[in-house]
Amino acid sequence: MKKIKKLLILFLIFILTGCSGNYDININKDLSIDESLYLSLDNNDNVYNKTIKIFDDNKIDRDKYKVKQTSDEIIIEYKEKYNTIDEYILKSKIYHQLIDNISYNKNKKYVDIYIDQYVKIKNQNESSLIGNESDINFLQINIKTPFKVLISNADNISEDTYTWTINQNTDRKKILFQFTKRLNKISYSQIVMLTVLILCIAVLLVRLIKNYQKSQKI
Tens digit of pLDDT for each residue in 39-62?
887 787 777 887 787 777 767 788
Under the banding of pLDDT at 50, 70 and 90, the label for residue 128 is very low
Q: How far is CA 127 from CA 10, 48, 103, 120, 123, in A?
A: 19, 32, 20, 10, 12
Identify the pLDDT of residue 155.
94
Please compute Rg for the chain using Cα positions: 23
Most confident of 24-33, 52-61, 181-190: 24-33
- In terms of DSSP H, where are the helices of the chain? 2-15, 47-57, 85-91, 188-217
Rounded Cα distance between 142 and 22, Å, is: 7
The pTM for the full model equals: 0.70
- Over residues 60-88, mean pLDDT: 88
Amino acid found at 68: K
